[in-house]
Structure formats: structure tokens, C-alpha cells
Structure 1
């Protein structure tokens, strides 16, 4: 992605390897616009079919999931996105894969076990095995999410994919990983992202976001964020790891400390 400055105007340019990927982004924006959605950054005409051009969002305030206002607004945007199933038959376009969260996480566990030597070296044998056991125990008890209300899912609800403009208006950007599936899947993944900011307190999360009360909380027992971050660490250079590992270890220690209570809370709530 590039930032392109023309006089006082700035644009983002993103070139895709395959034209069909750019077509998918254009289709998403076209259908969301027809549905009356106003939470995405518009696409502007560009002569190269492989390139997506959009206005550059200059923001004085970064979206952070440790801030209640940003959590509430980002979840509201996701609810609005998922509600477009009432106007758009996303599954009929043929452009999107349907997510299978259980299969995705089973594959993540396989990758985790493949890099065990690295994990044991950096994290230690005991904690590596503990996370492995948490993943296996969680997957063993998960019931497949019912394929009801299939809709468009953004696919990557990390905080930096929500941006605010100078008027404090929030947008969701980067639909590269968009897929289709039950809205509950994305609400689970968003909950995984924000739960550390509640110190893994489910009651506090539900109190702030009552709309999440009906999701299957057993899906929050899978150590998704821990495994994702440690697998990301395997892609870094030794120099990059020097700054990343201490922060990741602190994050890991806190998560593992809170996991027993999280399991108890899930049992109580379900």
C-alpha cells in the first residue's frame, strides 16, 4: 500500500496480485453502498484494474481497544456490517469462502505443534505444553456454530482496521480477508481481541456489551490470541524478537494466570 499525495489531497493505493482480489473489494464496497452503509472508506476510479484507490484518512485519534468508546463503536460498526445480510445475498456472489472456525483453529494448533522447538526455546516447555493442552481441551468441547444468518464478515477485526477521521467518525477498512459465515463467528473473534483489556473478566465484557450475551462463550476458552502472537513471533528476525518477546511473555503470563477463572466463568454463564 502507498500513500499518494496530490496537492492538498492524499490517497491510499493498494495493488493486488490478482485482479479477482481487487474485484472482490470493489464488489464489497458497491454492495455496501447500495445497502446504505456509511462505515467504509469509498473507492475512487482508477485506470489499473489491479489497484484500489481510496481517500487517505487523516486521523488525530487512533482506535484502541483499551478505550471503552472505541470498543463500543467498533462493535456497533460490526453489527451494522453483519445486518447487511438483509439487503445483500453475499453467499450467492461466489466471491467469498465460508469460514469454519473449528477447522481454522485445528489448523492453528497443527502449526503450533510444528514449531514446538522454537516455542520451548523462547517460552519454555511448561507454558508451551499448557497452551497446547488448553487448545486441545477447548477444541474437544466446542459445538459447531449453527449456520444461521450467514452474512459478510470483515475477517480481520484487529484494532488498526478501525479508523477515525478528523470528525471522529469511525470507518472499517481493509476487507482483504472478508469471508461469509454466521455473525457470531466474528463477534467471537472480536471478543478475543478485546477480552485482555477486561483482564479476561467475562462479566465485565458482557456488562459493557450486552449484545454479546448470546454467543457461545466456550469459544473464548481457545487460546487464540496467545497462539496467533507466538506463531507471528516465528516469522520475525532475531533483532525483531529482542523487542517483541519480553512484551509477548508479559502478555502470555497474564493470560495464563487468568485462564482458570475464565473457564469457571464460562461454565457459570453457559
Structure 2
């Protein structure tokens, strides 16, 4: 059986040339990326017993079916059965209080470091868990917040052993888009060969490289800010102006780095949802 590729061509078209020559045409690419970035909202989650846990998806929710069916396929192969996968989901903690230092460290790989907030809450810490069961399991936490089903919705129902994908509009009207059993998913063709462990390894490797560069830029910005403050105290206007230019350059470098993080794109690539150019 083949997985319904209703959205796959649209998906490939969207990302096919998005990052081509991105650093050669750095400035142009950034503005194009910002303009083209999708904002299709939705929710995803799972049902175990009487408990339903859902999480908001801020972007690209129309592609949850393509992504999560593949992730479920990989997860079942990793854990060995639906029952063992359910046990893993049951271990996900429902977090209500403010995150502690240990939580911040554990979830750093999933954190939206572009957030303007200096105090990271769970929404920022679990930002890159949106639309990914693999990341949610790896983080081990889901934010307990009132979230209504809205937009494109993907639900993994362990009680019925199936998944559902539908669209729910503002008036509450539901349009069913896809549904299938977990058993049927394991028989789908064109599923990715990559393992769960390899996906996690790829994610950690890319984050380590990103975070090393991120930390160095932040350290340099802190150093320049100190220089600027000292120059201001000494009324050294010329020095302050020169430092301002350096700060602007580092701010831009940080923006380019953040745009190049591409967590979502990298996951699509791991799941074979990106066209490989010859």
C-alpha cells in the first residue's frame, strides 16, 4: 500500500529551491525565506485511555500527515510494537510549573533560541517538539496548557490503534482528510530507511555545531556591549559608534546563523521528504 502523497509534491516544491545557494545570496535568501515562511497552524497529539494530550503547531501543520505517519513508522520499528510505544508515551511528563535549570539544559536542543525573552518558558523550551512525536519522546515533557484543536489536526489514538488527520475551522466544522491504522502504516511503501537512533544522532550533531557558533557570537556580543557601556561612561563617542557597527554586524551574523539552523528542514530530509538534486 502506498502512502497518500497528496501533499508531497506541494511540500517538495516549497522546499526544493528554498536553500539553494543560500549563503552565496545571503541577504536575498533571508528576505525570501521570511516572506515565504508558512504559517499554517494546527495541533497534534495522542490519546491514551481517557487522557488526550495535544500541542499547538505554529507552522506547516498542513504537512503533519506526511511527517508523523513516517515518524510513527520509525517509532514502531524502534520500540518493536504499539504496546511498547504506548509505554514510552505514558512516560512523557505533563509540566505545569516553571522550568528548572535541569529542564532548560535537557531541552536546550529543542529550544527556540531566537526568542526575545531572556527567561525561557516551556513554550520556548519545547518549540522544536511541535509536529514531532520523536522530539516529544526525546524531550520527555509536554506543556500542560489549554489548547483547542484548531486548523490541521493529527491525533495518534492508542485506544483504537489508529491515526486521524482532519481540519477543524473556527466554527468547529471538521473536514476529515485521512485516517489509517498503525498496522496499515507498517505496510506502507516508500517509508524512510533511517532509524530512530540515527535521527537523534543527526539532530544532536547539527545542534552541537549550531550551538557552538551561537555561543561564540553571544559571547562576542556581550563583550562588545561591555565595551560600548564603558565608552559611553567615558563619553568616547567615536569608540561607541565603532562598537555599534560591530554589534550590528554580529546581530546580523546571529540572524543568519539562526535562519541556517533549519531544524524542520533537516527532519524533512531525514524522512525523505526533500528532493535530492542530482
Normalised by the size of structure 1, how large is the TM-score? 0.24
Flag the structure with larger Rg: 2
| Larger fraction in helix | 1
Normalised by the size of structure 2, how large is the TM-score? 0.24
